[in-house]
Structure formats: structure tokens, C-alpha cells
Structure 1
Amino acid sequence: MKKIYIYASIALLGLGISSCKKELTQNPYNAVNSEDAFKTPDDFSNALRGAYAAYRSTTNFAVYYGGQDGGAMASTPDILADNLILNQQGRKSQQTFFDFKYQPNNTWDLWGNAYAVILRANFILANIDHLGAGDFKNNIQGEALAVRALAHFDLLRTYAKSYTSATDADLGVPYVTSTDPNALPARDPDKKCYDLVVADFEKAATLIGADNGVGRMDKAAVEGLLSRVYLYMGQWQKVVDAATSAINTAPDANKLADTVEFPKIWLDASERDVLFKVKILDGDNVQIGVGYEQASPAGVKAEYSPDYALTLLYTTTDTRKRSYIGQTVLNTVKYNYIKKYFGRAAGAANVVDFKVIRMGEVYLNRAEAYYNLTKPADALADLNTLRANRYSDDTPGAETGQALYNAIQLQRRLELAFEGARFFDIKRLNLPVQRSSFGDKADGSGIAASVKTVPANSKLFELPIPLAETNANKNIKQNDY
């Protein structure tokens, strides 16, 4: 008989799991049988906190939702795209990604971090029937399903083809629902994985509570994330339905932020607009902003600066420009830098919460879906709602046709810049990465990117699976490099 243990050294939710043979009569001194770890409501609440905590976990200097030198959702997807330029006075962190020279032994280990999240969620789900029927059980189960779905979705958009370019035979990732420590799962088909993500999110939406507080998912967050997944799948009416539900059911504190409230979001001084975020405390030692910049008495040293072409797209009356982009002089040279993760008004530098899904995105998801459903008036209404809450001098737009679509995509780029969306948006739309010829200095001069174009559907849109994983699991087929 095999027993699974959760080790106390990792707060009863460790990444290491083990088995023991039948003749052993004592549990390991630093472990607890998983069946004994999930008995009371408090046990499940603690386990769920551990699952959320894994979203900010670190392996090999790589962070899932955070910002470090080995890769992170806050920085890497923008570094891989056209929003940023490598700053020559920085430390050249993540330059292999910026130059598209990543290899299996030098890649973003989102893989390990995401499967740690999945394992913790699966332990909860495997033991969920230890709870009595009722709202508490439903909510815990809904959150665990949503946590698992989000991690699998992030893996898919990182390591697999876009849904709309994939065939039925193209590989996704292993969709893991087991806690078996001996399992060596193979990659499931890409489109099957998307269906499983949707199934987990849809079930979660029927179970989860309406307001679980800051740092936890609730019904509006799940519906907002569903609108994102459906957008990637091109299922337009489902995008509209999920986005509408998110907009209607979000707690008042999380409704769309206006121009006054919006800058406070990035100081963690307001929850407006934020449907779900990963809480990062000073003591967690996850400095989300380090991947972009470090302050010093001589000025701010930027790792990456916003591309000058991007800065020109923001007007002076756009609250996002003031919230996202700062300017500094370092060694007599003027640079722009990303100040979105600079830190709270008080506390450790570069430490803020990571905003996973915001109301601004939900409106843009629905606007794009309405456009593709040939409902331009509805698309324009959502676009104008967003713009009215971002520009201090806004007047309603009247775009039609291609101009309307272009305006939606422009606002998406401006809204979600430096939040881990740009590379994935280019990928899902089956477009090329096309960088500008501007350099790293504030006026666009300086040294430009050495790689300016990645063709649409290039193999470079599928990051290599970490070598440690393919070495450990013979059933994992590496991406083609």
C-alpha cells in the first residue's frame, strides 16, 4: 500500500512527495500522511493558502508571478515582444530571451513553478470529500479548480502553439489531476488541454463564492479568466458571456478604476479594477520590480526600458503613462524606465502584488469579441467605457470597421503593458514580433534590438521545456529546436 506524505518542512504543502513500503510502520519524522493533513476546515484553508503562495514561488531564480532574472510573468512575455528595449546600463538580465537565444538548459522554468501550484491544488481536490457538503466545501473546491486551471493555461500559452494555429495532433502540456509521485505523464494534445482548462474554470464558476477577499479568486475573477481563455480560443460569444458575468458580479470594490483611482492600483493602495492578484509581502523576498529596474543614489538603473515607439502611443493625459513609465538620469544619460513595480508608498523597494486579471482587460476582451461577432456598436461602447476611465480629457470615439479593431488592439497594448500579456497576444493572433529601430535612451537614440523580427508562428513562440524535466521524465517530448 502506498502512502503519500506532505512534508512539514514546506508548511505541509511541499513540492517533495514520497512513498513508503507496506512494512514501514512509522511516518517520516518531518512529514504527515496526506490523508491526515486534510481533515478540518482549517486544514483546507491552510492548504489553499499554500496553493496561492506557490504562484509566487521561486526555482532557479525564476518566479511564476513575480520578477526575477531567470524569468517571470511580470517581465518575460514583454521582453520577448516589442514593448521593451534592453538598457545598456543594466545588468543584461534575461538577455537570452530578448535575443531569442533560449535553450532547454537556459529557459524560463515556469514549468516547475506551475506544476508546484498544480500539485498543491490537486492535494486539496483529492481530499475534498473529507469536508461536509455545503458552501464552504463548494468554495474551497471551486478555488482549487480555478488555481489548477490557471496554472495549466499559463503553461499552455508558454510552451505550446496558439490554439488557433494548432492541429489536433499538436502537443500541449501534461494536464495533471493526480498526486501520484511516481507518475510520468506525457504531453496531452494542445486543444484537449484547452478544453480541460475550460472545464475546470466552468466548474469552478458554479462552486466558488462571490467575494473571497484580496489575494483569492472568486466568481468574478474566474469569469474574467474564462473570458481570457475563450479569447485565446476565438470563441467569441463565450467571451462575451463570461466577461459580462464578470462585470456584473464583481464586488463594488473591484469595478473599473477611473483616472483618479488607477494610479493607486500600482501602489497597492486601491483594489479598484483588480479581480485577482497574487499577494507579495516584504518578507516573501520576491522583488517583483527587480526584473525591470533598481533605484540608486545616482539614478534608476533600468534593466529594460519601454521602447520609444511604445511611449509615443501614450498621450500626456493618459493615466497609464504616469502610472507605468518614469524617467531618470543615470551617468548623465536620460532614460525611461518601468515604474509599475517600483514598490508601495512604504515598505521594501520593488515589492508589490502581481495583478493577474483586471477589469480593464475584461472590457477589452468583450470589445474584441463583440467586434468579431459583427456587433460594432457594442464593441465601441466597451472601448469608450475603458477610454473614459483612462484619459483625463476623453471624448467618446466613433471608430468603425478596421479602425475600430485597431483601436481595440491599441488600447489592449497600452492597458496591459508590462503585465505579461504582449507576447501572448501577438502569439494568439498569429502575428509576428516586430520591434522598432529605436534605441534604449529616452529620446529613442542609443542601441537598438539586435533581433527585430520573429515571423508569425515561428518555433520561437514555444519556449523550450526545461532540460531537467525532459531528463527526469522520458515521456515528455521537447519542443523542436
Structure 2
Amino acid sequence: MSKYFAGLSLIALTASCSLNKEPYSAIPDDGILKDETKWPAATAGNYALLKEEDFTRNYFQMGEFPSDDITLSGATTDPLFYSYTYGHITNQGNTRQIWRMGYKAINGCNRLLEVMPEGKSAAINELIGENLFIRAFVHFGLVRSFGRPYAQNPETNLGVPVITKYDITAMPKRNTVKEVYAQIVADLSRAKKLMNNDNTNSYATKNAAMALLARTYLYMGRNDSAAIYADSVITYGKKYTLLGTGELPRYFTKSNENNEETIFAIHHTLQDDRTWSSIGSMYYMSPGGQGYGEIYASDSYRALLDKYPEDVRHAFVQPVYLKDQYGQDSLDASGVKVMAKRNGINKWYILKYSNQDNVPTLSSPVVLRLAEMYLIRAEANAKMGKDMEALNDVNIIRTRAGLSGNALFSSSNMQGYATVLDVVLDERRLELAFETHRVFDLFRNNKNLFRDYPGVQPDHPQTVKYTDARVVHFIPESEILLDPNLVQNPIQ
């Protein structure tokens, strides 16, 4: 592995496993690794690495900014600009950050996994499962940003290095996309057997492993397995329930422990608030002026949402109106409120990463939630020809969103859609908007991305074909310089 990999350290914490504790970086000596009383704290340190700005902010921005759900209203020196425009460069700051922090977390897990004996106790088995889950999740996040969709020649297309051993001398090559996904499946399959469901949704559980397996199998085109695992999570007792229609608009303001729909989220408390560097700072500016508020919900996303004004998911986007000299909303000659603009683009704030515990820039970004499981099962069933089952799951999500009657789908009421799969993909867009799904949903289903709305994208309209070289980011050039076995993604 690269020299940077060689210096990556396991994070050690104080004796508590609480994610509220402030971690410190230290390379563990043999005494720490052999002292099983330190393993829970070290595992909590690996969770804490996921909270680091270099990982979490980039995971959610690099996964969302290439989509057609958002519009960037102006140029910026932040490397998110390249992720949005597809103008990727080899020394892009955000790719370097997520690569290095991702492998730091992976190696933190590896150091523990090498010393924890499976079968010694239920508690140790649980810790092994949690570290396997973290390792799988990070590999998943990296391969979908740096490796092409699984549907496109996974046996030959390169993904990212699969690192399962801590070796300070290794210079790894990139594994194929198929090999990376195989390791993700192996880690999650083992993890689900070792864990129970006693943890809160701030930590890995058996159900979290099954939920990530469901998503992984969907990305792989293994629709039967995707449906089975999604169904298992949906039907597991009363561990998770969809929030009610009235509570849905407040979903993302709830902390983990107060959200019964969340399966796994990266827990942030007030001391973890990144303020101006938070995910939500680009999406929202509070009345007090906190946040940049420069990335808005796109016209095409809002057009889909506006088909049904009663859809309560309108609450996740907020129109910003121009104020008059008295601080009131300005009205035009017809008495209609005047939208505030930035560079000629209407301001529609996105609220899924703001206002947790009434703090404008605080959120615990959601990785897995129950609604996604219904939509995974729906997509898998649609692809297996089980149209009614797929539509039933879509209708569960739409009913929860406050829709009824002719707004629900049936075989005799397809509302203009040609296929059930198209219905499911649009429902995924509505329900999971801004949560890092949309662009991957398009490309893994061999669909192009189309932006026919204003923004800083280089072309108007802009089409990104699912076969384009730039549907993936470049491997950080700094890593290639340190590890010549790494091969760069194609330029063209």
C-alpha cells in the first residue's frame, strides 16, 4: 500500500464506546491490541473516523453533486465544483480526502479484526461484526465513486484496492469492480451472522448489514437477493417503522435515538457540528446567516415533486423569497411572491442536512433507512416481472407521503409511465432525493443524466451518458505517485 496507507493509525478512545467522546489519533502498540478491554473503545474510534469531515462530507457531496436533483448557482473554489460539473481533475481535493480517510478507517478495522478471536464471546463477535460492517461500507462508498457501475464489465473494469490486512509495506493494485463487490458481500454476510440488533442506529447491527447487503445486491443486479434482504429488514419485528405522514417533514431534524425509521446514520452531536464545513452549509442559509446556501433543488426535481402539491415531501425544499425594505416577502404586480435569486437561479434550499436539534448546520446524515428497503424491494421486483408487488411498495411510500386516490399506481393507472421500473426509479428520486442515490440509480440502470435547467454545468442542456469516462472520479494523483501499482481511470 502507499506510504500514506503505511502511516494510517487506529483511533483509540477513552474507555467509553460513546460516539460523543473526542477521539485521538495514535498508532496502537501491541499492548493496546492485545488488551480486549480496549477493543470497544478502538471500535468506537473507527466509527468516529466516518464522522471526520474528509469522509462524511465528501461521501455525501461526491455522491450527490453529480446528480440532476441539484443545481450549483455559481463557481466555487471548493472541489465540489468538479464533482458537480464532471470536470474532474487528477489532483482534486475531495477525492484525495475521502480516499485517505476511507483507507484510514479500513485499516483501523483491519488492525482490530486481526487480533479479535471469533467465537470467544458474544461481545467480541459483535465487535468483529461492527468492524466488518464499517470496512464494507467504506469499500462500497469508494468503489461507487472511483469504479464504474457493476452493470458495465465488472470483471475487467477497475474499482479500488481491497485492503483486508494491515501491511505497511504493501503497494496494492486496484481490484476489479467485481472483486470489490465480492469482498463487500463477504464482509456483510459474515457481519450479519456475528451481530444482533441490540445496538442503536448509530452503530452497525444485523439489520444494518442486511440493509447494506440489499443495496449492494441491487447495484450488482442480483435482484432476487436484493429483494430477500430488503424484505428481511422490512419484516423484522417492530425494530423499524416508517414515520407517519405528519412526522415525515421533521425526519432529518431528529437525532438518531429519536428516529425509528433510521437503520444506520453517522451520529453527530453538537460537538461534531462542522458549522461552515458541514454538508448542509452548501444547501441552506439560516435566518441568522449560517451557511452558504449556494446549491439548490433543481427545476427538474421540483417539477416531479410539484405533480402533486399535497405531497408532504415538499417540506424538504424551501423557497426563499425576496424581502422588501420592511423585511416582508416582496410581491409582484399580481400579488405573487418574488423568488430570491443567486446568479439568476431561484433559491430553493434543501433541508435534509440542517436543523438537527435546532442547530442550522447540524445533522446526522442517514446512510440506511426503512423507506429505501421498500424501494429496493420494489425495484428488484419490477426487474423480476413482479409488477404488482413493486407497485404496492411504491404506493406504501406514496401513501406515507400524503398521497391517495388517483395519485397511487395500479396496472390500470400508470399515470403515463411506460414501465413499472420507471415508476420505481422516479419514486426513488422523490423519496431519496439528496441522499446520494440518484446519480447511481441512473448510471447503474444504463440511463443518461440530463440537466435542462440553469446552473454552472458547462453545457445547457447538459447530457452525461452512462458510458462517459467521467461518471467516475479520478484516482488521486498523489496516491499514484506513492503507489505506482495504482492505475488511473481513463481520461476519455
TM-score, normalised with respect to structure 1: 0.85
Is the CA contact (8 Å cut-off) linking 1:91 and 1:303 kept in structure 2? Answer: no
Q: Does 1:188 align with 2:186?
A: no
Partners in 1 of 2:288 and 2:76 — Cα distance? 15
1:405-424 to 2 correspondences below 5 Å: 405-424=421-440
Offset of 1:11 from its aligned partner?
A: 4.6
Correspondence for 1:50? 45
- Provide the rounded CA distance (Å) in 2 between the counterparts of 1:32 and 1:156: 27
Cα deviation for residue 192 of structure 1 reads 1.4
- Contact 1:75 1:419 (8 Å CA) reproduced: no
- Amino acid in the other structure paired with 1:471: L
Instruction: Report what 2:473 is aligned to.
Output: 463
Secondary structure of 2:374's counterpart equals: helix
Which residue of structure 1 aligns with residue 312 of structure 2?
A: 319
**Counterpart selection for 2:459 from 425, 439, 450:** 450
Q: Following TM superposition, by how much is the alpha carbon of 1:372 offset from its aligned partner in structure 2, in angstroms?
A: 1.3
Partners of 1:112 and 1:6 in 2: CA distance: 9
Name the count of aligned residue pairs.
442
* Equivalent residue, structure 2, for 1:127: 115
CA distance in 2, matches of 1:318, 1:240: 27
Shift of 1:167: 4.4
Contact preservation (8 Å) 1:159, 1:465: yes
Q: For 1:279-329, what per-residue CA distance to the aligned partner results, in whole angstroms no more than 9, with x for missing partners? A: 11222243221132333557985221111121121132222221x101113
Residues 1:306 and 2:297 are matched in the alignment: yes
**AA paired with 2:59?**
M
Gap change, CA 1:337 and 1:282, over 3 Å in 2? same
- When residues 92 and 326 of structure 1 are mapped into structure 2, their CA distance, relative to the original with a 3 A threshold, is farther
Correspondence list, 1:394-413, <5 A: 396-399=408-411, 402-413=418-429
User: What code does the residue aligned with 1:326 have?
Assistant: Q
- Would you say the 8 A contact 1:204–1:222 is kept in 2? yes
**Residue 398 of structure 1: how far off its partner (Å):** 0.5
- Which structure 2 segments of 5+ residues have no match? 1-5, 16-24, 324-339
Given candidates 356, 360, 367, the residue that maps to 1:356 is 367
Letter of the structure 2 residue corresponding to residue 282 of structure 1: L
User: What corresponds to 1:368 in structure 2?
Assistant: 379
Q: After TM superposition, give the deviation of residue 478 of structure 1 in Å.
A: 0.9
1:343 to 355, 369, 376: 355
Q: In 1, Cα distance between the equivalents of 2:10 and 2:420?
A: 55
Q: Which runs of 4+ in 1 moved over 6 A?
A: 4-10, 89-93
Alpha-carbon shift at residue 177 of structure 1 (Å): 0.5
Superposed CA RMSD in Å reads 2.7
Q: Residue 164 of structure 1 corresponds to which residue in structure 2?
A: 151
**1:144-190: CA deviation from partner (whole Å, max 9, x where unpaired):** 11111111111111101111112422211111011112211111121
Shift of 1:32: 6.2
Aligned equivalents of 2:385 and 2:293: distance in 1? 43
| Superposed displacement of residue 90, structure 1 | 7.9
Q: Deviations over 1:186-212 (max 9, x none)?
A: 111211111111111111111111131
Which residue of 183, 205, 208 corresponds with 2:192? 205
Query: How far off its partner does 1:108 sit?
Result: 2.7
Give 2:244's match in structure 1, choosing from 251, 258, 267.
258
Task: Tell me by how many angstroms 1:275 deviates.
Answer: 0.4
Tell me which residue corresponds to 2:233: 246
Alignment partners' CA distance in 1, 2:46 and 2:440: 24
Cα deviation digits, residues 353-381 of structure 1 (max 9, x gap): 01001111111011111111111121122
Aligned residues: percent identity? 25
Counterpart amino acid of residue 476 in structure 2: P
Distance in 1 (alpha carbons) for counterparts of 2:51 and 2:162: 21
**Taking structure 2 as the reference length, what is the TM-score of the superposition?**
0.83
How big is the shift at 1:45? 1.1
Deviations 1:223-257 (A, max 9, x none): 111110000010111011111111122653x2222
